[in-house]
Every structure is written in structure tokens, then in C-alpha cells.
Amino acid sequence: MPRSSSTAPPIPVSSVPNSVGTVLAQRCNEIIAYHAPISRALTAERTSLESKLIPVTAYIVVACAETFLRYPGLATRIDSAMPAEEIGRRARVPGCQVDSCFIWSIANFPLIGRQVFAALDPARDTPEHLFAILDFWDRVAGAYRGGDGTRQAWDTGTATPYDDATIAALLDAAVAVEDPDVRTGIKRLSATLVNYLFLLYFDTRAGYCDTGPYSVPGQPSRTLLVRDFYRLAQSDFAWSDVAAHVPYANLTAAFVLDGGTFRVTDFGTSNHMPEDYLDRVVAFSLSTTDGCAPGEVRPVPLDEIDGIVTAVRTAQAAHYRNIAAMTREEKIRCGAYVYFSFLRPFAEIAGIADELDWTVPRDLPEAILPLLYAMEGENTPPPEDGPYYPEFP
């Protein structure tokens, strides 16, 4: 169900008759107060954090601590190359990983990392430091949401960045789903890609993102769910050589659903009522943005599904074996790169991704790394007492 909007529109600095530091603290606190209850609820809804194969908690803490230290400076560099608002506008196309999940993350990761330094080095925690990334988030998020006054999927239960021409292209390519074997193939493709990307992103669901619900012209009982799958093939992930033979880097699946409702989350997933949404798919298309201009898609014939599934499963098996052979520290460094590089797609749109240093860990004090590497998650919900993210005094 849609959430009530609780946005934090920018306050003009000139309207606040205080020092610059006070203005920044006030603005930071407004953004922190917006995120805190949403992030508490999203964290409580997650299904799991720790796995037997990958030390997820340890790499998240390492990555988030680094984002607190370095994202403000990186955001400033990116914003200088291309304004955040323009990045948000350009991101409203298939195949672009500046999506709901990544936008949520670039603000929340530093806020999580900030708590690591609360006891370690509180002098680093100033509004002047944090404002750059929070303000960058605010402007990207507002533009990505089309300037409707909201900032996240949480505000409405929806995320519909794609324009009418894009939706028309996806619907024009859709094939009616009547044959049970076709439906089975669609289910197998979706499940295979989701599971593969979950492992490729080191037990993180950031490799795909749902958007919608979009209306289907002339068919009021039907809605469209769009699911983008990112970096399926060899990419900036150092371990992705296992995917050298995966035929597509990016895929976009369009599911035309008959009946039911769904809302999308800022984790890039969708929650359906009733849950069996794939049984209600009446039309489906598969497209790619590979080799296309921004905003364009190219249909992928459905008779390629079996070949895609086979290639992906081969890559996944090889990746699993490689992870199993890694040391704990190697796994943490790989997972930390996944999280820390959430800002990279923003830099790619701005054209400066290769000019920036994505090494992680880099700036964390060497003395605390063994402590962070040893951390284990307990899959427990966040505590109810106290602020989820503390505000500046």
C-alpha cells in the first residue's frame, strides 16, 4: 500500500538567519529525520543479512564506514562534472543503475557508517562533512522522481521513472503468454537471473530493480511491472570474468499482469497481492539496452531464454566455486567493493567514473580493520528504542 509522503524539500540558505554551520546542521537533520523511520522499517522487513558462505555484516560495515569518509568528497567531484539534478533526470531510462535502490543507498550507507565513527573519532562527524552527500542525494532523488515532490518509493509505493515512449516500446514487444511452457520459461528466467545476481553481488539484491506499477493503455484491469537486470556479464567486478560468456550485460523484462496490486520498495523489489504474480502474467517482453542509445531498448527474442539461462547457470556455478575458495578477508573486500561502488553509476553518467578511486578499504585506520573483519551478523531487527540515525545537536 502507498505510504504517506514525508519529503524534505530544500530550504533556501538565505531564508535561515543563522550561521552557515547552523543552516547545514538543520538541513542535514531534516534529511536524517526523513530517512531514519523509513530505513528502520526497511531494515526490519529484510529477510536475512548473514549467510554461511559470505560474511555480509563485516563487509557492509567496512563499506559503509568508507562511504562516510569518502562519499562527500566523491559526490562533490561528481556534482562538479554534472549537476545531481541532471544525473537524476538522465537516470530515468532502462539499463541505468542509478535506480531506487542505489539512490536510497548513497544517503543511507554514509549514515550507517557515521555510527561507526561515533565512538571511534567523533570529530569527523560534522554537518559540513556530511552535507555534500545528503544534498547530492536530495537533488538526484527529486529529479529521478520526476519533480513530483517525493524522494523515494516509500512515499507512494510506486516508482515509475520510464516515460510513455519507453513503456510503449516494452509493451509493443510483449508476447501473449498462453502456453504453459512459455510461462514456465519466464519463471525460470526470472528466478535464474535473480539468484545469479544475488550471488554475483555477494549476497546483495542490488543487481536487479523493479519499477511500476505502470498502466497499460486501454486495459484498466492490467498493470505493468518492469524488472531491470544489471551487469550480468563481465563488468567492473573483478570476479566477473566467470561471466565472460553471458550474452547480455543488461536485460529488461516487462511483465503485463492481469489483476492484483503491487508496490515497489526502495530496495528495488516489489510486493504483490496476491503473491502469485507470475501466474497472472498475460504478456511478456524481454529487451536489452546493450549497444543502444540512452533511453532505447532492443527486443530479445524469447527463443534465446534457454541459452541465457544455461550461460548464467554456468557462470554462477563457477562463481560459487571461486567464492568458496576465498579467504574471509578476500570475501569481505569483494563485498565491500559492491557496496562502496554504489556511487559509481552516478559517476558513469557524469563521465568521470574512471577518474575516481573505488579501492576499498582505503581510508579506514589499519588498526580497526581486524575488528571490523571479525564482525558477525545476528539477523535481528533494529532496536526499537533510540533514534535509528542520530541528528546533529
Q: What is the percent of the chain with per-residue pLDDT over 70, rounded to a whole number?
A: 91
Q: Where are the domains of the chain?
A: 19-158+328-373, 164-324
> By the 8 A CB rule, do 113 and 60 touch?
no
> In the predicted model, what is the mean pLDDT of residues 233-255?
98
CA distances from 218 to 189, 223, 225, 257 (A): 28, 11, 16, 14
Grid cell for residue 278: 507470475
> In the predicted model, what is the mean pLDDT of residues 179-186?
95
d(CA 111, CA 32): 8
Q: Say what the alpha-carbon torsion angle 134, 135, 140, 146 is, to the nearest 10 degrees.
A: 110
What pLDDT score does 12 carry? 36
- The overall average pLDDT reported for the chain is 92
User: Would the pLDDT of 85 be above 70?
Assistant: yes
> By the 8 A CB rule, do 228 and 209 touch?
yes
Higher-pLDDT residue of 21, 336: 336
Q: At 2, give phi and psi (nearest 5°).
A: -60, 145
User: Would the pLDDT of 2 be above 60?
Assistant: no
What pLDDT score does 376 carry? 87
CA distances from 386 to 39, 134, 383 (A): 14, 22, 8
> By the 8 A CB rule, do 34 and 7 touch?
yes
User: Would the pLDDT of 11 be above 90?
Assistant: no
What pLDDT score does 186 carry? 97
Grid cell for residue 147: 519533480
pLDDT tens profile 104-144: 999 999 999 999 888 788 888 999 999 999 999 999 999 99
